[in-house]
Chains A and B, each alone.
Chain A
């Protein structure tokens, strides 16, 4: 390990030199500066672990030096050297970030105790910072690794199904074809569950907040609808979008808002009746924009309304259960909308349909 690097800033030469003698004897590498300015310049060229600063110096006093070192690199430990009469200002300096103070006159042992303790603190600080960084990196990679571990075997299995169903492994009887198709569908919904769960665990409120920007709602709705055209056609559901032309922009992260809208509209299609209708409406409401996704579907039992946004919750109704789903779509939408500082609510009438309403912050006209 490198020897600890100490800088002594003191305008009295005798004090500087005697500090150096004591510390160098312990194998520390000591440099000296006769003023705050000189000390800070030295720190810029050569970083060090701990700085001893005399409180009373002409030009720049110790408190100011401590403050500037803190601005420069808060991980450097600073210790103030003070006269008896100046303990009060030493306390003030500790409020500015000094780690400790040492009243004059001090013995070599007293100096060593304070310096060793300061170095120990620095070592712990650096260690915990390194551990924190390692933990963050692990968290980032965790999702990637889990994704790989969960999805790879499924992908391999599904690929075999594609080969078999494609007749590449030989002709299949109708019964075999049907069973394999069913098995493949079940696997695909398992894959969907994994994807949704990963989406959910990756959604971080902080990341969404960082990406909030003025966003035209119409674009988000359009791109959400793009992925849903097929299922709407298949179910013979008409999707109608009704956005006023003068709608203000909303504060949103376009990607996650699109996902939330897509989940809401996908549900409105999925739990609709054949030939039913989905309407997406928006209007300005004071400093907000409300977006309503309305369907003419099976509706939700009032008893179940409090639970629909819970993770993995699925309606008890047989018509709802007959549709594939993971019970995560609304939970994801809710999490996204909350990160936007908005609300997501639902009103519903069993047998008639549901309305999911998003409230988002509007961008003020300027």
Chain B
């Protein structure tokens, strides 16, 4: 199967990253893994992925969000500014309004990802979202 696109998974949970990788590999994607925000930023520049799947809570509660902010606004990363980001987390629904993307006031200073998925997800759910984000990116 020809490789469809390159996807970077940024997640400090090695198991979660691995199972996510298997789902994507089985569907013909090329997959790269980074285990924290810093490595994620480095791999974005080195590997130039077409899409990033990003965990919200790694070392700190906001590590995922700060990576989004860096990618979107750091002038050194301008080439990757529009890379689609799919955020995943097992905590969003339980952290109250802090992570609810509808609340303008709380989300004011945080950069928004392009899409969001609660962990765990069904393989099809993930593949649908990824395909949609990639299609949207290509169309724009």
Binding site for B on A (CB under 8 A): 141, 143-144, 147-148, 151-152, 154-160, 162-163, 166, 168-169, 195, 198, 202
Residues B1-35 near A (CB distance < 8 A): 13, 15-16, 19-20, 22-23, 26
The digit string for B77-101, where 1 denotes a CB below 8 A from any CB of A, is 0000000000000110111101000
Residues B38-92 near A (CB distance < 8 A): 57, 61, 90-91
Contact residues in B for A163 (Cβ distance below 8 Å): 19, 22-23, 123
Contact residues in B for A156 (Cβ distance below 8 Å): 13, 15-16, 19, 120
Given contacts A147-B91, A160-B15, contact A155 B120 (CB under 8 A): yes
Interface size on B, residues (CB 8 A): 23
| Measured CA separation A10–B124 after assembly (Å) | 78
Top 10 closest pairs, chain A to chain B, by CB: A158-B120, A155-B119, A155-B90, A156-B15, A151-B90, A159-B19, A159-B120, A147-B94, A156-B16, A168-B26
- Report the minimal beta-carbon distance from A110 to chain B, rounded to whole angstroms: 52
Given contacts A151-B91, A198-B94, contact A159 B119 (CB under 8 A): yes
Contact residues in A for B26 (Cβ distance below 8 Å): 168
B56 to A, closest residue via Cβ: A148
Of B23, B57, B119, which is within 8 A of A166 by CB?
B23
Contact residues in A for B119 (Cβ distance below 8 Å): 151-152, 155, 159
- Report the minimal beta-carbon distance from A28 to chain B, rounded to whole angstroms: 40
The digit string for B104-115, where 1 denotes a CB below 8 A from any CB of A, is 000000000000
B122 within 8 A of A: yes
- Report the minimal beta-carbon distance from B23 to chain A, rounded to whole angstroms: 6
Asked if A159 and B16 make an inter-chain contact with CB atoms under 8 angstroms apart, the answer reads yes
Given contacts A156-B13, A156-B19, A169-B22, contact A162 B121 (CB under 8 A): yes
Contact residues in B for A154 (Cβ distance below 8 Å): 90
Asked if B13 and A144 make an inter-chain contact with CB atoms under 8 angstroms apart, the answer reads no
| Measured CA separation A195–B92 after assembly (Å) | 12
- Report the minimal beta-carbon distance from A273 to chain B, rounded to whole angstroms: 31
| Measured CA separation A168–B94 after assembly (Å) | 30
Asked if B23 and A148 make an inter-chain contact with CB atoms under 8 angstroms apart, the answer reads no
| Measured CA separation A141–B94 after assembly (Å) | 11
Asked if A141 and B122 make an inter-chain contact with CB atoms under 8 angstroms apart, the answer reads no
A-B contact pairs, 29 of them (CB 8 A): A141-B61, A143-B94, A143-B95, A144-B94, A148-B90, A151-B90, A151-B119, A152-B13, A152-B91, A152-B119, A154-B90, A155-B13, A155-B16, A155-B90, A156-B16, A158-B120, A159-B19, A159-B20, A162-B19, A162-B122, A162-B123, A163-B19, A163-B123, A166-B23, A166-B122, A166-B124, A168-B22, A168-B123, A202-B94
